[in-house]
Structure 1
Amino acid sequence: MAVDSSLAEMHWKHDLLGSIEVGIVVLDKEFNVKVWNQFMENHSSIVPGMIQDKNLFEFFPEIDNEWFMRKAAPAFSLKSPVFIIWEQRPYLFHFDCNRPITSQANYMYQNITIFPLASLTGQVEQVCIVIYDVTDEALSKLAMQSLNAQLENINRVDGLTGLYNRRFWEEQFIMEYKRNHRSKNPSALIMLDIDHFKKVNDTHGHPAGDEVLKIVGSIIKKATRETDIAGRYGGDEFAIILPDTPAADVEFVAERIRRLVEKCTVVYDEVNISITISIGIAGFKHNFTDNIQWLDSADKALYQAKNSSRNRVILSE
């Protein structure tokens, strides 16, 4: 018996839509669902009979319908395909990630293509959405980005104190110097070091000295703002850039750091170690010819503090 040709065509189309490993959704201009393939059924637990001729947004309220309608508009009006990659929006349909339990993904990452489907009259009455599962690719790229961020952080941060290292701090200092030459906003620089730090190392050992450096670094972090740029300049010397801050106001910050350090007792190997710091402050001046002059100004103020009984804050003239 001959098989009806239309029935045979329907059969192979059904097999095709069911076997391909991508989601296929066909929508009309009202965004009612006309085709819902096996991939979509498997990941949504919605069978075609449930969603056929129903509005897509009723079943997936997480889809921003205004945004999606704007994205699909060129496919309807210009007969132009539309592409949405996971970096722009992680997913269109919130499907669970069916990866092993060790996967870090909470959902399926998706790339989306919206194709226009022209009728015999040449008018686009429907569009086809193709949903690609790109979770493996996305996780790989995100892991690489995370690794690069960690490496970048390692290159910027002093491993002992958690503040910026000298190389990165100096880069920021040069940029701030140039910015101040273009701007009228005042900025200031703090230079500080630990009083009699060599004695700490000689008396209690270098591990104790490292603990002192860690504590001072943590105090500086707590006492400064997110916009301030604090770094370990070298050895027991620290430097802090305070953008858009008059030098007179910085005295308050410097005194706060000094008092916190003075009140702090570092405990190492059951030994209490008392420490103090000396601080020099220099405000930015437009007659500085280079950033080194600004640094020298703060360094001279620090030198004055150390030569006048230490544990002091000196503001450069």
Structure 2
Amino acid sequence: IQPRERPLGLIFADNLFSGRAITEEATDGLATFLSQTSLVLDNLALLRDVERLARYDSLTGVFNRREFEARMSVEEMRCLRAGHPCSLLVVDLDNFKAVNDTHGHSAGDEVLKATGDLLRQTLRAHDLVGRFGGDEFTVLLPETGGSDLDTVVGRLGQLAWEHEIAMSIGGASFPDDCEVPSALFSIADRNLLSAKSAGRRRACLGNDHRIIRLKGP
């Protein structure tokens, strides 16, 4: 069985009880079965690839914008029903255009990949990470708010510093900063602008606009 020309399995045929030789007709039938099986497996693999491309950003491996927004809507409803907090971060790479202009787009792609890896590996399994577009990422942190958000951002900033990734972050929490989770993005996005205005490599969090410097120890 060779879907996509890659060996996947073997089938052995034998007349175990009669001991008779396998006929050419039986061999032809088996070959047809194997061909059809390979085709089915090939189509299933292609379907999985298409589904993945529909949900994930092909460069960074995190959710694409559409999938992130869909999952965020589900999480918003869950937070409202259960009364749980949640937080949203908007992450933007500092001086990313200069990286592309100076070192080329391939270098910029490597920075984006490294950022996606950093976010996925730093955060919890049930946190949502998406690439919102260009060099902007979004992170949804279920059941996280208040001082916990500051802790997450501080840890993320330290790891970004260690990996030589310069970023600015805007963040907001429900219900601390808004009455409904759907308002999180507008607050976090405004805070991102404040973080960049404060000197980059900064995070600006909450309606009180608290500033955290993103650097190592």
TM over 0.5: yes
Residue 94 (structure 2) pairs with residue 195 (structure 1): yes
Indicate the residue corresponding to 2:195 in structure 1: 305
Q: Give unpaired runs (5+ residues) of structure 2.
A: 13-29, 208-217
| 8 A Cα contact 1:251 1:313, kept in partner | no
The structure 2 residue matched to 1:287, chosen from 164, 179, 193, is 179
Can you list the C-alpha shifts for 1:56-104, whole angstroms capped at 9, x where unaligned?
Answer: xxxxxxxxxxxxxxxxxxxxxxxxxxxxxxxxxxxxxxxxxxx69x752
Q: Distance in 1 between matches of 2:108 and 2:72?
A: 27
User: How many residue pairs are counted as aligned between the two chains?
Assistant: 184
| Counterpart selection for 1:166 from 65, 86, 95 | 65
The match for 1:105 is 9
- Letter of the structure 1 residue corresponding to residue 179 of structure 2: N
Structure (1/2) with the larger strand percentage: 1
- Deviations 1:294-315, CA, capped at 9 Å, x for gaps: 1101112212211111212222
* Paired residues of 1:247 and 1:282 also in contact (CA < 8 A): no
> Which of 151, 159, 162 lines up with 1:260 in the alignment?
159
Hey, what's the Cα distance between the residues in 1 that align with 2:105 and 2:199?
Answer: 25
Higher helix fraction (1 or 2): 2
Matches of 1:107 and 1:240, distance apart in 2: 47
Q: Give the conservation status (yes or no) of the 8 Å contact 2:87–2:184.
A: no
After superposition, the Cα gap between the structure-2 partners of 1:138 and 1:188, relative to the gap in structure 1 and judged at 3 Å, is farther
Tell whether 2:44 aligns with 1:145.
Answer: yes
Identity %: 36
Distance of 2:102 and 2:119 partners within structure 1? 25
Give the letter for the 2:197 counterpart: N
1:183 has 2:82 as partner:
yes
Structure 1 vs Structure 2 CA RMSD: 2.7
Greater Rg by CA: 1
Give the residue type in structure 1 aligned to 2:173.
Answer: G
8 Å CA contact 2:93, 2:136 repeated in 1 = yes
Tell me the CA shift for residue 316 of structure 1. Answer: 0.9
Q: Given the alignment of the two structures, is residue 296 of structure 1 paired with residue 216 of structure 2, yes or no?
A: no
Greater RCO, 1 or 2 (C-alpha within 8 Å, sep 6+): 2
Q: Work out the CA distance in 2 between the residues paired with 1:140 and 1:184.
A: 49
TM-score (norm 1): 0.52
1:246 counterpart = 2:150? no
Corresponding position of 1:45: none
Correspondence 1:214 to 2:104: no
